Amino acid sequence: MMERTYVMIKPDAMQRGLMGDILSRFEARGLKPVAVKLMRIPRELAERHYGEHKGKSFFDPLIEYITSGPCLCMVWEGDNAIQACRQMMGKTNPQDAAPGTVRGDLALQTGRNLIHGSDSPESARREIELFFNDYELVTYERTMDIWMYE
């Protein structure tokens, strides 16, 4: 099923210079970027994005962290893109993440786990709408798609 999902490269990955490595993994998998934006997330947007965690002990530190530096916000498209991206990212706790995943290869702590991705079609729609306007989402065909999909 062709779908779109939201993925964010977090400030720790940006500060560590891992953006290129992470992007190349998604491209090599065959996913198609349809929106990309480098931004320092304003506090209000961060609070809306992580709203389901409001009131939890880690909420304020999470907001401080995600607004502390630039993030690369993206929308990727592909066959079962949500599941594919989550599989590539690895488990939230890098100690539990499989080798070959972003977190399994490059992260050590849950609080600095490099990347965020939507966990369901509903959260993908909500997160894409939070970070991108309709005119920022690009629809296009790639010639390589005939080699990716039957």
Active-site amino acid positions = 116
Size of the chain, expressed as the number of residues it contains = 150
If we measure between CA atoms, which residue out of 130, 90, 125, 127 comes closest to residue 110?
90
Q: How far apart are CA 47 and CA 31, in angstroms?
A: 28
For 26, the 3-state DSSP assignment is helix
| CA–CA gap between residue 39 and residue 29 (Å, rounded) | 25
Could you give the residue ranges of the DSSP H alpha helices within 30-120? 43-49, 59-66, 81-89, 102-106
Name the DSSP class of 60.
Answer: H
